[in-house]
Structure 1
Amino acid sequence: MYKAFYGLNDNPFSIAPNPHYLFLSDRHREALAHLTYGLGETGGFVLLTGEVGTGKTTVSRCLLNQLPENTDTAFILNPSLTELELLATLCDELNITYGESPTLKQLTDRLSQFLLANHEKGRNTVLIIDEAQHLRADVLEQLRLLTNLETDTKKLLQVILIGQPELQQLLKRQELRQLAQRITARYHLLPLTEQEIALYVQHRLQVGGRHEPLFHRSAIKALHKYSGGIPRLINLLCERALMAGYAQSKVPIDAKMVRTAASEVLGEEIKQEGSLLWPSLAAVAVGITFAGAFYLFNQQQVNQQQSPNSPSETVIANEQKSVTPSAMQQADKPAPQKSLSASQQVLRSAIEQSRSIDTAYAAILGLWGKSPYIGLTACQSAQQQGLDCFQQQGNWHSLVRLNYPAVVYLVDDAQQPFYGTVVSRQGEQLLLQLSEQQLWVDREWFTRHFSGTMELLWQAPPYQPKEIGKGAPATQIQWLENALAHIQDKSPRLVSHFDDELEQSLKAFQRQHGLRADAIAGNQTLVQLNLYLSDKGPRLQESGGRY
């Protein structure tokens, strides 16, 4: 229904499992590593637990795809079985034939023969049981007996138990202490953090065909609050929020839409925090603002008379206006029209005309000598013309360091979103385009109104590896050393392997740019590096951009 409106090719937040949308957070990767380690050991049991909807099944499916080809796998999804039914189901999964009305001993014997034959062929056998918290104690004990079949070096059957936190309590029972001692690896999967939710949402949107950010930062905070970091709930909330945005023809998705979605999905009334205090606080704030803005405005007029050549009052041709910080402060407030100067009225009008992000994207495309395509989103238009979009979370320093023109997500003093394009920089001032107006703003004003999300365009190199780590070819490792040295304004070393100094340098770069400091130059890290190295396209300031 809403796919065309948002520039999507697919529904990105369906709760149906789709391998194309696989997103592994740091926690999911760690869980996968624990399971892989456990299967590599000689023990018989591996345990994965987590709350409903945290992605346990996602991890297990990913594990299945990574198992070697010489592995026979049995997957049991409904473990509410008796001992006899469990063994029969296991035989069915492994294509082991048995007669009608078999006994427990007959099934056990057939399984034992199969496991021994598999071992002689050099094959492994793995049993994965989902929803394992429903297993009865006597069934778990039967599984333990099956794993008694072993050689001098390994168990012939390895079992992965996946379940909710109650499974941990079940395994603490006295009669299951022998099984608990055979668990070689265990991991409890926690919900996603707020930062991981932002990456998760953006990942699914990109797979669905939209590369521009669609959820405001406040919406991500609301998703974290109401979903508790549970991916399944995140999908449900995002789906409802997109429906609300489509119904209102509104982009991006804000916290209010997520709050409304939460009340529908969770079936309870969600109250906005501070709603009872707002009217009285707003009245006091408006009064104080009027007094302060009036004083600051008068003071600014005196300063302008004393310093006629100050940067903040330079008039720019072609509808570029100069707006002083006090004028901007006052223009954001609901002051009477008669108290506003001409420059304040210009700013207020520009903000009101900048509620749609499309005008900001059109401006940044123009800076690259490109234009939007009808029927395509801004990033799709950019890609058709040889450019890529890159989203960055940051602050004034991040913007200055990157040194690229950027679409910036802003909020006025009523916390309502508007959008601008940072065109140029002079010292502590930025040239900001709002709709058709270009205005110089100072650092204090920008910091106060910047929400932290920016989007820029860049021209990616013809070839870029997927990642550079310790096992990468020597040429790629040398390139990484050269790139980091260039960004840090120092001479590169000649390196033959990924040594400790390169690892520490890469980690420092990743930490400074809000990336996971894992000493692996993955996609996000490589994009950041290439942004500094590229000499293509416009810059905010010709001499800036150093790390």
Structure 2
Amino acid sequence: MYEQFYGLDERPFSITPNPRFVYLSQRHQDALAHLLYGVGQGGSGGFVQLTGEVGTGKTTLCRLLLEQVPEHTRIALILNPMLDPPELLRAICAELEIDLEGVGGLQDLQSRLNHYLLDCHARGERVVLIIDEAQNMSREGLEQIRLLTNLETNTDKLLQIILLGQPELRLLLARPELRQLAQRITARYHLDPLNQNECEHYIRHRLAVAGAERCPFSRDAMKALFHASGGVPRLINIIADRALMAGYAHELERIDAHTVHEAAREVAGDAWDEGSGWLRGVLATIVVLLILAGGGALSWTMLKTSEREAPGTRPAWMTILDEADMSLAASELASQWPELDAESILRACAGEVDEQAACRLERGSWRFIQRLGLPVILRLGADEPALLVLVGLNEHQALLSHRGQEYRVPIGQLDRRWLGEFYVVWPDRGEILRVGDESPRVAQMKQLASRVPELEWTGSIDARYDDDFAAWVSRFQRLHGLTVDGMIGPATRLHLGVPHESGPSLATSLDGV
């Protein structure tokens, strides 16, 4: 939207990782050096620990590390460490492409991994295990990876382990029961946010990469950006992007501190007015004034070309945001589910008990929605968000449905408004299945459990809910971040895939739609 106005080739502050925009402060360089030390011979088979607040750049450093690993190095990257020991070992083996045919329990997994590591050592190869979000690991999971460091020859450790996590990881490893693991950490580094000087260099660097010939932020605006973001790169990106959008709407050649503060307030969610954001209101007002004034200072060419806007004002899908409430979304979603009506959906999503529908407010990524595979209601914005039904999704586009009409939307446009929250709705009477139950419904759950790729149920497909199946359900719930109680309620049924048996599917191929 603002690129042409500020002489940019592209948006400089997108939160999507882009290697061209990487800025390495001195602390980021030091952190990367610690990671490379761990991958190389310097790790000596101990643990390397990198911690930092959310958004400080740990994932970016991990990407850089993977691009710089030495030759003859094999990497296993675990992104979801909320696993019990057997599941964790299976995930590691899957990352290393170890054949697990015929492998049974924990001992078999350890034996197969040990043989693989010995073979790699004989070929002169190093094996490195990287665990992201390690603060979410259970005590049992941490103990299991400590035991992996016992795999060794007479002269060398066979596995190097790197732990990435939020500051809570340091507190976790300080517990007395984990002191054996803590003693094996050979390198520690905590990634702090940028200081004020680094923050300014970071902003100028990203603007330069995006093609800017001058910096549109005043010196006071730079200071305001630092204080509003706390020096956290991800927050700098979000606030700076909003400030540039507001500057464009106000035709500001230089963005001042006031504009940054207003942008930061919107990002924090406390400056939205009457269901529409401050920036959205500013933009709508400016567009109307331009139309009434015949274009004003901004040319129609600029107005039409920014973000591929439809003739007149905004992209077609944005014109429905102001009326996109929960009532309309419920009606639209009900048209996707023959078994549901809008009233049931509204009751369920309001937290009331409904005999027909279940509704969960989830938070996740586009990939998470694709994994669920169902149409969902997106919450776009903060406070009083616009609510739109998502019926299709691929890597580049989303398909929204409103009042029976479908709108194709580039993912990048939605990313500016979507904070990751959505409602998922499906038919469910709310029954709870538990140990001691015996019914065809239990057999149905076991049948679905036998199809779970990462945690296949290998027991009998009968109608009895026994202790073994309850234990499997607990592992499944832990894997998906659900309440671990060993019982099957609506949320567990959702993740098992029950709604897919008769319901609509989220379209993934949008060709011809």
Q: What TM-score, normalized by structure 1, do the two folds share?
A: 0.48
CA distance in 2, matches of 1:150, 1:251: 63
1:285-434 superposed matches below 5 A: none
Cα deviation for residue 161 of structure 1 reads: 0.3
Alpha-carbon displacement from aligned partner over 1:111-141 (angstroms, at most 9, x marks no partner) = 1011000001000101111100000011111
1:462-473 superposed matches below 5 A: none
Q: Is the 8 A contact 1:219 1:255 kept in 2?
A: yes
CA distance in 2, matches of 1:268, 1:23: 30
Cα deviation for residue 253 of structure 1 reads: 1.5
1:43-442 superposed matches below 5 A: 43-99=45-101, 102-268=104-270
Q: What SS does structure 2 have at the residue aligned with 1:69?
A: coil
Counterpart residue type for residue 112 of structure 1: N
CA distance in 1, matches of 2:81, 2:65: 20
Alpha-carbon displacement from aligned partner over 1:466-509 (angstroms, at most 9, x marks no partner) = xxxxxxxxxxxxxxxxxxxxxxxxxxxxxxxxxxxxxxxxxxxx
Which segment drifts farther, 46-55 or 145-154? 145-154
Q: What TM-score, normalized by structure 2, do the two folds share?
A: 0.51
Cα deviation for residue 178 of structure 1 reads: 0.8
Q: Is the 8 A contact 2:246 2:259 kept in 1?
A: yes
Cα deviation for residue 152 of structure 1 reads: 3.5
Cα deviation for residue 100 of structure 1 reads: 5.9
The unaligned stretches of length 5 or more in structure 2 are 273-513
CA distance in 1, matches of 2:191, 2:245: 30
Match of 1:293 in 2: none
Alpha-carbon displacement from aligned partner over 1:327-355 (angstroms, at most 9, x marks no partner) = xxxxxxxxxxxxxxxxxxxxxxxxxxxxx
CA distance in 2, matches of 1:115, 1:101: 17
Q: Is the 8 A contact 2:38 2:162 kept in 1?
A: no
Cα deviation for residue 269 of structure 1 reads: 5.8
CA distance in 2, matches of 1:211, 1:65: 30
Cα deviation for residue 268 of structure 1 reads: 3.2
Counterpart residue type for residue 254 of structure 2: P
CA distance in 2, matches of 1:7, 1:102: 61
Q: What SS does structure 2 have at the residue aligned with 1:4?
A: coil
Match of 2:30 in 1: 30
Cα deviation for residue 69 of structure 1 reads: 1.6
Match of 1:513 in 2: none
CA distance in 1, matches of 2:104, 2:184: 29
CA distance in 2, matches of 1:131, 1:154: 28
Q: What SS does structure 2 have at the residue aligned with 1:191?
A: coil
CA distance in 1, matches of 2:2, 2:77: 37
CA distance in 1, matches of 2:2, 2:210: 12
Counterpart residue type for residue 173 of structure 1: R
CA RMSD of aligned residues (A): 1.9
1:452-463 superposed matches below 5 A: none
Cα deviation for residue 99 of structure 1 reads: 2.4
Cα deviation for residue 101 of structure 1 reads: 6.8
Counterpart residue type for residue 57 of structure 2: G
Counterpart residue type for residue 107 of structure 1: L
Q: Is the 8 A contact 2:45 2:159 kept in 1?
A: no
Which segment drifts farther, 236-245 or 170-179? 170-179
Counterpart residue type for residue 261 of structure 1: A
Cα deviation for residue 22 of structure 1 reads: 0.9
Q: Is the 8 A contact 2:239 2:263 kept in 1?
A: yes
Q: Is the 8 A contact 1:79 1:86 kept in 2?
A: yes
CA distance in 1, matches of 2:13, 2:252: 18
Following TM superposition, the consecutive aligned residue runs of length 4 or more in structure 1 with deviations greater than 6 angstroms are none
The unaligned stretches of length 5 or more in structure 1 are 271-547
Match of 1:359 in 2: none
User: How many matched pairs?
Assistant: 272
Counterpart residue type for residue 149 of structure 2: T
Q: Is the 8 A contact 1:42 1:153 kept in 2?
A: no
